Structure 1
Amino acid sequence: MELLAALTLGLIGSFHCIGMCGPIAIALPLTHSNWISKILGASIYNIGRAFTYGLMGIFFGLLGKGFKLAGLQQWVSIVMGVIMIISVLFPVVLRNRAQLDGLINKLVSRLKKAFSNLFKNHSYYSLFLIGLLNGFLPCGLVYMAIAGAVATGEVLNGAMYMVVFGLGTLPVMLSVSLIGNLISTRFRNRIRKFIPVFIVIIGILFILRGMNLGVKYISPKLNKTNNTEMKMMH
């Protein structure tokens, strides 16, 4: 259920990613003569992004593991769900969208200038590094995915959650890298309207998960083995 949520968040959220990462994806040095090499290069760039997300997942999964060992996993899941819902209902940061887009464009522009050598280099290694650095760009959807990684309460699960989220963005971002901004703004805006709805749904699922209702897949009983072992050690 967690990985399915991560994959769907990546798939739907990738239409938002076009505005954020699209300029970088279009500017990739994909000057190879055949389409197979171009597809491989664009895929390596996106794998670089997923790799960064995986590193984030390890860190935040470890943080979630700490909460789990402290017996706070249920509360963490509920809090992460509430944060997701609040971010949609009270989007204070997104009130001035024009200003935000301007900041994003400036950030992308500076990133391209700072790593101009990578864009001049046509090697697969450079494409991987561009994707790796691209993964660190500030993004609201990534923050939502991070909240999910924390709620997993496990290092491996957190890493897998973030990697699957990154792979979910692959189809759209790969298309942008190869064909340019093919998807119309009108279509993107229609899809983006569903993103807040889906984030609320994920938030509700995390809240239900934390409530420990004993409902299979949605709110399963959490394993209390770790807590029992810790008590026996004392």
Structure 2
Amino acid sequence: MMSISLFPVFVIGLFGSVHCVGMCGGIVGALSAAPALARSARPFPVPVRHAGVKRTAHLNVAAYNLGRIGSYMAAGALAGGVAGARTLSALPSLQLAAYWLANLMLVALGLHLMDAWRALEWLEQGGRALWRHVQPLTRALGPVGGPGKMFVAGTLWGWLPCGMVYSVLFTAMLSGSAASGAAVMLAFGLGTLPMLLSLGLAGARLRTLLQLRKVRLLSGLLVAGFGLAGVARAVGGMPSWLPTLCISPAGVPA
């Protein structure tokens, strides 16, 4: 297993999750509110306790994110296991190429967040189109908006195309084992958790705030900065503190 710092991966998930507003925010908000909407649509008035609806919404959002992060970890385990330490050691050129690609995708993601370069737009469109075909699979999985259904929805959503997830998956691949790959994606998933929990519970108000130009600019600059730090490490001549900001393991040739 290669040594890899999980803190930068967590921070990328934390600030890069502004990117999740368009991709995930709507579906989380809609599904978490589904129990209350279903009750209000009944033909006869049914007393609804606000605390009960709120508790159900919390369970739904938690279940969705548990499924989503579980899928990230499974993908990380697959990536790290397929490209194990022996394979990477035997193919240093592949290792270096994956390192460059991971960091350049972070730069592209940062520019995407800043609306400076929409290079990842095709992935976002593909993810939304695929979700329209996947979402009907949840209809036969229990009551509207129930935690079980939300868990399945989150699990399915975790496998949809996403530039941010893919950039971190390359780091999971470079980690050298299934266990470390899963750990990388767990750190990333936990970084996205505060934003996705808030989006599920606060809904449209938070989405409006996160679409502000200055918020997206700050988040994009930070995410792109991690990618540029990795590129600087690859070309050499970096200051001694820079490797602490790199998402890829020290074993990658520079």
Bucket of the pairwise TM-score, normalised by the shorter protein: 0.7 to 0.9
Unaligned 5+ runs, structure 2:
37-51
Q: In structure 2, what residue type is equivalent to 1:198?
A: L
User: Once the two structures are superposed, what CA deviation does each residue of 1:69-107 show, in whole Å capped at 9, x if it has no partner?
Assistant: 31624564345334544666795634xx6x887665544
> In the alignment, is the contact (CA less than 8 A) between 2:142 and 2:149 conserved in 1?
yes
**Aligned equivalents of 1:104, 1:86: Cα separation in 2:** 17
Shift of 1:133: 0.3
Give SS of 1:138's match: coil
Unaligned runs of 5+ in 1: 224-234
* Map of 2:46 onto structure 1: none
SS state of the match for residue 206, structure 2? coil
The residue type paired with residue 9 of structure 2 is A
Amino acid at match of 2:79: F
Structure 2 CA distance for partners of 1:209 and 1:100, relative to 1, 3 Å: closer
Alignment of 1:20-99 (within 5 A): 20-29=23-32, 31=35, 33-62=52-81, 63=83, 65-70=85-90, 72=92, 73=95, 76-85=98-107, 91=117, 93-94=119-120
- Partners of 1:221 and 1:198 in 2: CA distance: 21
Could you report, residue by residue, the CA deviation over 1:117-140 in whole angstroms, capped at 9, with x for unpaired residues?
A: 347444432221111001012111
The percentage of aligned residue pairs carrying the same residue is: 28
What's the counterpart of residue 17 of structure 2?
14
What letter matches 2:58 in structure 1? I
C-alpha root-mean-square deviation of aligned residues, in Å?
A: 3.6
- State the TM-score, normalizing by the size of structure 1: 0.74
User: How many residues are treated as equivalent by the alignment?
Assistant: 221
Q: Distance in 1 between matches of 2:6 and 2:220?
A: 19
Deviation at 1:19, TM superposition (A): 0.6
Shift of 1:189: 3.6
Distance 1:156 1:163 in 2: 10
d(CA) in 1 for partners of 2:169 and 2:84? 10
Equivalent pair of 2:61/2:197 in contact (CA under 8 Å): yes
